[in-house]
Amino acid sequence: MTGVGERDGSAEARFRSVYANTYPDVLRFLARRAPMGEAEDVAAETFLVVWRRLASVPTSDDTARAWIFGIARHVLLNARRGEGRRQALSVRLADPAVLLSQRGLSDVESWAPRIYLAKAWQSLSAVDQEVLAMT
Q: Supply the pLDDT for residue 125.
A: 85
Q: Supply the pLDDT for residue 53.
A: 95
Q: Supply the pLDDT for residue 5.
A: 41
| Residue at 33: amino acid letter | R
| Residue at 27: amino acid letter | L
Mean pLDDT by 10 residues, the chain (135 residues): 50 93 95 89 95 93 94 92 70 57 56 72 82 75
CATH code of the domain occupying 1-86: 1.10.1740.10
Q: Supply the pLDDT for residue 107.
A: 56
**Intervals of CATH 1.10.1740.10 along the chain:** 1-86
**DSSP string across the chain:** ---HHHHHHHHHHHHHHHHHHHHHHHHHHHHTTS-HHHHHHHHHHHHHHHHHTGGGS-SSHHHHHHHHHHHHHHHHHHHHHHHHHHHHHHHHHH-HHHHHHHH-GGGHHHHHHHHHHHHHHHHS-HHHHHHHHH-
Q: Supply the pLDDT for residue 97.
A: 59
Q: Supply the pLDDT for residue 109.
A: 60
